[in-house]
Amino acid sequence: MDIAYVLPYTAADTRKAFKQRIYDVLVRMDEAKYGTPELQIVRKYPGIPWRRIWTNLHASVVPNMVK
């Protein structure tokens, strides 16, 4: 299998880290070809100012688990 865009497996890598690296490359290649897809909630409710909601959510001082 040709994996030219993925750095080769090294002794310092765990299997999980190597699989994650392959996945990240495939996701980036897909986004480069097809663009970044919209979230399902954005498609479901297109009239809501989502950019403002996401900005307020990320600026809030609540724990990440709650976000």
Interval 10-50: pLDDT, tens: 788 888 988 888 888 888 888 888 888 888 888 899 899 98
Within a domain: 4: no
* CB of 22 closer than 8 Å to CB of 42: no
| Tokens 């993925």 found at | 6
The SS3 assignment for 6 reads coil
* Overall domain count for the chain: 1
What Rg, from alpha-carbon coordinates, does the chain have?
18
Within a domain: 26: yes
Within a domain: 66: no
Within a domain: 7: no
pLDDT bracket for residue 2 (50, 70, 90): low
Q: Phi and psi dihedrals of 18, rounded to 5?
A: -70, -40
* CB of 29 closer than 8 Å to CB of 5: yes
Degrees, nearest 5: CA angle 32-47-43: 40
Range of the domain at 37: 15-59
Within a domain: 20: yes
